A and B are shown apart, each in its own frame.
Chain A
């Protein structure tokens, strides 16, 4: 909450929350409660322009946002057995499924598509949190396997965008078995030498986090996403303490070494394209140039107190390496760097 939201909200409310305005034209930010006009919402990729809150995106919007020019093909997923346990709580699982299907127009909680990202052929599997909390049952496991197989077939990187509360309880042990099954999907992609990137979005918890979602070559988290294994309430009940500020949020996970970076949604596509490009198109220079030595051998290993930045900022030791092309990595001139300029001794 900031001054802007406090300031703007009452005004907007006064102006627009009349009964004759159709509901779907205005959306309330779940965080700051500001009213946001639908067009602004779309334009800002469902990020609140007042407080920066990242709202959940359904799989179709996610795919549209990530692929080049909205151009991608959604693939048909293999049919999974329906309600293998004949599960029933207060409702039948089959009824819950039908409701979710009617509500979302999807057959289950995952969507797999292929297209290009920055010109790089890419397979993306995106979750629909709106479909039973994005929970992972057999259909989702099959979807991830199909995505992995497609990536291998097309020699394309795989990007998975989970948004899931975890395993689908109504499929009992078979939902638990999607943890090893989705892990196998990841192994297929990695064994083929292809990048596997996980974009952690709100929320990524439970059995989903404890399987494919934490096995990425890279973990990119959207700002403010809840990411964790156990639910916050379960933890509170166990330890009987209140949880630390920002617990299980993207930024917190990054501080604890679990994700590579936290990005704003508006930068997500660009970031993905950049890393996909770096990982899958090493370029011609990679084949001919031997990497310059990171640290000259004469340099004494930094003590705990010194950081690498300290070393690079002030190279106090001359480069003595005789590797051709070895260069000091700061701007300072120490010795002629190229072999041709090297004085004979």
Chain B
């Protein structure tokens, strides 16, 4: 079932009309096929126009769209022989973070990412993509495993943030995130991170201190959710749209700021409207990144990765 966002109302209406017309086949009077294709062209045009100038707050909605492909969709679409690996070896398996080995475009790789789930049951199972310390500790373990076997690491970032709970605090949520960042930065194998949906604060950077950080055209990446920012700085949740704009959380702004390396174009109307197209685009971008990093040894990778982060923030938005 297609979910429409509020700003997509005109598009939803047109698509509804198309649906109706399709059911009218064989009544004979009007040329239905022609009418449908006319309406479809209109939908495409409207989608293109709408998505070409999404406001930051609208991007937030698209990034969180329930139909948007999630981590496991990308793994299914891009990785052969995916073999999930579980557990942090200390406390638990955290289903919010999926990790495992598989073959990406012919080469073995380690894939790690947050999974939000796609229906009530799976969302609960994956804790809505909000990882606990054991999730980050699993990620650390898997990154180190990858290093041991010289496998490149692919991370797929999609989280509202690390889980805020009593147990998570007691088990050292902060320490786990800090160590995960530390591990990313020390890694002697290529690490390519892709923000596929929501890049929520510390929970996101824990997997994204990477050689290359890619970001989908309508994904967001921010130090705090616009809602959280609004309630602190504006003292009201209703200012979330203003906060979204002020935070500069869009892929386009982050590219200008030098925080991400590449924006991956999405199909017209967003990643959720054409899964196979977005799979190919993301796969190509990740492969390009690995190609760029090929030939660098562990030490060079590490040094260049560090330099990249050290240079960050030296230029603002013009």
Q: Interface residues, chain A, CB within 8 Å of chain B?
A: 80-81, 83-90, 138, 141, 145, 167, 169-181, 183-184, 186-187, 206-207, 209-215, 228-231, 234-235, 238-239, 241, 243-244, 247-248, 256-258
Contact = CB atoms under 8 A, between A and B. Distances in A.
Given A85-B316, A235-B166, A248-B169, A173 B254 contact: yes
Contact of B246 (A89, A206, A257): A89
B110 interface: no
A38 to B, nearest CB: 33
A228 B169 CA distance: 7
Given A172-B249, A173-B221, A181 B312 contact: yes
Contact of A138 (B229, B239, B313): B313
A169 B223 contact: yes
B171 A256 contact: yes
B315 to A, nearest CB: 7
Contacts, number: 177
Interface in B216-248: 221-224, 228-229, 232-234, 239, 242-243, 246-248
A211 B178 CA distance: 4
Given A179-B209, A181-B310, A181-B313, 8 more contacts: A85-B246, A87-B246, A88-B246, A167-B201, A167-B223, A176-B204, A180-B181, A228-B169
B219 to A, nearest CB: 12
Contacts of B249: 172-173
B246 A214 contact: no
A88 B317 CA distance: 14
B165 interface: yes
Nearest to B306: A184
A257 B317 CA distance: 42
A183 B185 contact: yes
22 contacts: A80-B313, A84-B315, A85-B248, A87-B246, A89-B243, A173-B249, A176-B201, A176-B223, A177-B312, A184-B309, A210-B162, A211-B181, A213-B174, A229-B174, A229-B177, A229-B202, A230-B165, A239-B165, A244-B166, A247-B169, A248-B169, A258-B175
Contacts of B184: 180
A30 to B, nearest CB: 21
B221 to A, nearest CB: 6
Contact of B179 (A87, A213, A215): A215
B166 A184 contact: no
Most chain A CB within 10 A, of B178, B248, B259, B309, is at: B178
Contact of B182 (A177, A181, A215, A231): A215
B3 interface: no
A224 B309 CA distance: 34
B313 A258 contact: no
Given A81-B314, A173-B221, A181-B309, A235 B165 contact: yes
Interface string B158-178: 000011111011111111011
